[in-house]
Copies of this chain bind each other. A is one copy, B any other.
Amino acid sequence: MSAPNITWHHGLVRPEERESLLGQRGAVIWLTGLSGAGKSTIARHLELLLVQSRCFAYVLDGDNLRHGLNADLGFSTQDRSENIRRVGSVAQLFSDAGVLCITAFISPFREDRAQARALVDEGRFIEVFVDTPLALCEARDPKGLYRRARAGEIAHFTGISSPYEAPENPEVHLHTRDQTPEESARQLLDALGSLRVLPPA
């Protein structure tokens, strides 16, 4: 349902004032990949590297948001899209506030990711493909979910019973097979510098 009785309120703080306060501009750093690919771990290491560089970063984590904002959603295709729609909206708010907002969600569908991208300014949405082969994710199986999905105990499991649509042209492509999460995070940090998402050192 749309809400007809509303008008947009612009703030009194100019974006330049916010930038000057924080010494940075906001952006969304959107990690996508299979369950067990290492998204959350890489996101947490990147957050730490950024904060240690005096940048203001914050992680929106798939599992954590399932405890709060998205606790009412399940794992059907429709609910997964709504999950990502809400995350995209929240990431947009953080980015608007000037934060480097790192999101760590499987976000398997291209269309959902494209909608999240459309919410922020050109150049402020960095899609990061955390590219870990399915076989490796399944071998790791940190939460035992692949085993349960193979046993038919979990429906709509990405990579097993639900598709993962890999990014076709991500801003950053992390081949994690031969990297530690710390190494992946450092590669991502370097890429953010090249993409001019980070303020000049």
Contact = CB atoms under 8 A, between A and B. Distances in A.
A27 interface: no
Max chain B Cβ within 10 angstroms of own Cβ: one of A61, A90, A119? A90
A48 B13 CA distance: 6
A191 interface: no
Interface stretch (A39-47, A125-133, A163-171, A172-180): A39-47
Contacts of A18: 51
A125 to B, nearest CB: 15
A3 B74 contact: yes
For chain A, which range describes its interface: under 10, 10 to 19, 20 to 34, or 35 or more residues?
35 or more
A69 B40 contact: no
Given A56-B22, A69-B89, A61 B9 contact: yes
Contacts of A186: none
A93 B60 contact: yes
A119 to B, nearest CB: 7
A186 to B, nearest CB: 14
A59 B96 CA distance: 11
A162 to B, nearest CB: 13
Contacts of A8: 63-64, 67
